[in-house]
Structure formats: C-alpha cells, structure tokens
C-alpha cells in the first residue's frame, strides 16, 4: 500500500522549482575543499580523493574521501557495520532499529522474522552504501525477490562476508542531517523518485523528460527504472506505457534513494532546534566520530527527536551544498574551518576560535564518558567477538 504521508510530502514540494547554481560552482567536493582552504590562506595537495592541507610548510590535516583526519579507526569499524552501529546507538540510549542479522545461508531465519513483524519491512545489506541492495516498504510476498536483490548487490561489490538486515519499516519523514565537528549544519529531506502526470505523456516519457530537466543539476541523478519500479507501477495500476492523469503523482521507487533519482530538499528552516541538537548529540554514541551524515526518521517537522537509522562516515556534502530544492548550506566550509581551528589551537596560537575549541573539547569529553560504558556492554562485546571469529 502506498504511503499517504510520502505522497503528501511530495505534493507539498513538487511545484517548487529546481535550484540553479552558477556555472563556476565547484563540481566536486575536493574542488570545494581546495577553494575553502585557499580562502583561509592554506594550500592543498590532492591525490585522487585524498587531500592534504598545509599552512606554509606546516601540515594542518587531511581529508580522505570526505572524512577528516579527526575520524578515528574505531568509527570506521562501527559505521561500516549497520548492525554494530545499532548496538552502539542503543547502548547510548537512542531509538533505532531492532534488526534481524542473517547470513546468506540463513534464509529461513530471516523470513520467519519478517513474517513475525506482521507489517511492512525492509531488507538491506549489512555493509553497502548509497542504497545498494535495499528494498523498502514490502510485504512477505516480496521477500524472496528482496532477499535475492540484497545478496546480488553484495556479490557485485565482491563482499567476502554476505549478511542482510531485516528491519521493520517505519513511516515518517526521512532526513539526512549533516553534523560537522559535532555541530548541526544542514538537514535534507529525501524523497523517492516520482513523476507528475500531465494527461498527455506516458510514464516512460515523463521519466525521460524529468531526466532531461535535471541533467545539468550538480547533484540530481537520473531516475532509474528497475524491477522495483515495474512492481510499484503495477500496485498503482500503471505501466511504463500508461498515461497518468494531469497532476497525479506516481511513485517510481520505495526507497528514498538519491542515486535512483530521488529528490533532495534542504529543510533546516522546517525542523525544530531541539531536533538539530538531538542529531548533533547522536554522534557521541559512536566512538571516534565527530563528523557524519545522520539518517533520522521523524513523524513530522515539529518533532524534537527521531529514530536514528544510520551514521554515515563518508557523507556526500554536495546534497547540502547544492540541494535540488531549498536553501544552500556549506558543510565543506565548516569542515575545513574546524580543521584549521584545531591546528591553530594545537600550535598554541592566540588567534584560534575559542568558542569552537571549547565546544569541541566538551564534545570529546562527553563522548569518552559514553564510550567507557558502551565497551563493557555484554551485547557489544559478544558481537565484536563473533565478527572477529568470522
């Protein structure tokens, strides 16, 4: 059954025009890093997606892919394992999923858990990103196809250990919240790919027209037609050759996945200050993590807290820098500025940003207090031992 909440959100924002950015805008995050660093008087050395920052001959820090040198190795280990992330979030007191972890050989266990949920659920890989292998908002009739898709995605990525997570599907508003050095910077609403009927064109033509409209946007991806799309169209009594009536919204994917052609809308002005603090505080739950993309599900824009779905160690800042709709934010500038302030503080210079350093130091102290409790949690210890044995 299609979510009325999702359709309401789409209808609320669908007539808002796509944002147009200057042609000289940095096309990549690392071009943006270079621009921000040079504005502060630093120089950079780039190699592939690895960037080093210097002030004169002095090394300031590095950004590898899109995470800074302040991200510690333990954070990589946790955030690259969605189940382990859940355990750390739970032990820190955050609402998150109660997932079933199932190996590729544990089909019966996974299906039995899905049946017991007695409602819509999600099947996703344990350790893939960018929405790969995820099928959302499905019923038990869709389980076999979702299970196959999950492990086929892992096979293509040549994952040695193949696991799935089966999770209850939560209705609500799906946000990617960008936290930089423990501070809230931006919240982006993610909507699944959709088209709006005009009473003239077929579904296929509407998809092609929308893809042409978005092709010059810096972050918008083309809508991809997959097996999931065909199934979803069938549930809406449509096919790719159908002509939807004028102003009818047609969903093309269930997952709020920008890589499949979903929409990104910057909504910082729509959410509460309490929710911003909640998301900023949530990075304390992951040892060694101060910069991340937090995926949170909220009931409505008046929410003070939500369900934390994931902590992404390598978030894409461009969806915040160049959203398809809504205001522009600057997480890359905040990231580079923070690294420079930490460098100045470590060099015992008098011109460092005292407010930033005080807040950052307090964050690290509070994280250590939480981590000391987490690392003696029995469930965390048992899972870490089992994965090391594997």
Residue 390: predicted pLDDT: 41
Q: Do the beta carbons of residue 188 and residue 267 sit within 8 Å?
A: yes
Q: What is the pLDDT of residues 207-219, one digit of tens each?
A: 999 999 887 777 7
Q: Do the beta carbons of residue 190 and residue 159 sit within 8 Å?
A: no
| Residue 389 pLDDT exceeds 50 | no
Band (pLDDT 50/70/90 cuts) for residue 259 is: confident
Task: Give me the residues paired with residue 194 across strands.
Answer: 251
Band (pLDDT 50/70/90 cuts) for residue 388 is: low
Residue 160: predicted pLDDT: 79
Q: Which long-range CB contacts under 8 A does 318-321 form with residues at least 24 apart?
A: 318/29, 318/218, 318/219, 319/176, 319/188, 319/219, 319/258, 319/264, 320/178, 320/185, 320/186, 320/188, 320/266, 321/32
The first and second tokens of residue 27, run together, are: 């096309």
Band (pLDDT 50/70/90 cuts) for residue 197 is: very high
Burial class (CB in 10 A: 0-12, 13-18, 19+), 175: buried
Measured distance CA(47)–CA(61) in Å, rounded: 14
Measured distance CA(65)–CA(62) in Å, rounded: 10
Domains of the chain: 73-97+171-187+265-389 (3.30.470.20)
Task: Give me the residues paired with residue 178 across strands.
Answer: 186, 293
| Cα atoms found within 13 Å of the Cα of residue 349, Cβ hemisphere only | 11
């Amino acid at each position: 059954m299609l979510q009325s909440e999702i359709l309401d959100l789409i209808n609320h924002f669908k007539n808002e025009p796509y944002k147009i950015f200057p042609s000289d805008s940095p096309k990549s995050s690392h071009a943006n890093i270079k621009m921000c660093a040079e504005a502060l008087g630093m120089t950079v050395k780039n190699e592939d997606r690895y960037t080093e920052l210097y002030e004169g001959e002095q090394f300031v820090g590095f950004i590898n892919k899109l995470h800074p040198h302040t991200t510690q190795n333990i954070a990589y280990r946790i955030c690259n394992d969605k189940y382990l992330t859940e355990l750390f979030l739970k032990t820190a007191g955050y609402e998150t999923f109660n997932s079933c972890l199932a190996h590729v050989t544990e089909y019966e266990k996974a299906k039995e858990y899905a049946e017991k949920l007695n409602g819509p659920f999600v099947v996703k890989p344990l350790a893939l990103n960018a929405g790969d292998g995820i099928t959302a908002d499905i019923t038990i009739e869709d389980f076999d196809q979702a299970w196959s898709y999950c492990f086929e995605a892992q096979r293509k990525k040549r994952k040695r250990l193949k696991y799935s997570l089966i999770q209850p599907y939560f209705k609500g508003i799906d946000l990617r919240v960008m936290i930089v050095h423990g501070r809230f910077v931006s919240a982006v609403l993610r909507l699944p790919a959709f088209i709006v009927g005009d009473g003239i064109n077929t579904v296929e033509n509407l998809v092609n027209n929308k893809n042409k409209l978005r092709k010059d946007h810096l972050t918008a991806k083309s809508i991809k037609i997959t097996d999931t799309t065909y199934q979803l169209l069938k549930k809406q009594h449509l096919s790719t050759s159908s002509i939807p009536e004028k102003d009818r919204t047609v969903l093309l994917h269930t997952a709020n996945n920008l890589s499949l052609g979903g929409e990104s809308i910057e909504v910082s002005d729509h959410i509460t200050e309490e929710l911003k603090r909640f998301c900023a505080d949530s990075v304390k739950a992951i040892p060694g993590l101060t910069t991340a993309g937090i995926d949170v599900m909220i009931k409505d824009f008046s929410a003070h807290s939500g369900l934390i779905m994931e902590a992404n160690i390598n978030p894409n800042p461009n969806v915040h820098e160049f959203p398809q709709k809504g205001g522009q934010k600057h997480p890359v500038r905040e990231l580079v500025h923070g690294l420079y302030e930490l460098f100045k503080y470590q060099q015992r210079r008098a011109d460092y940003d005292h407010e930033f350093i005080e807040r950052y130091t307090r964050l690290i102290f509070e994280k250590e207090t939480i981590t000391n409790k987490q690392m003696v949690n029995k469930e965390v210890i048992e899972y870490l031992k089992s994965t090391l044995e594997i």
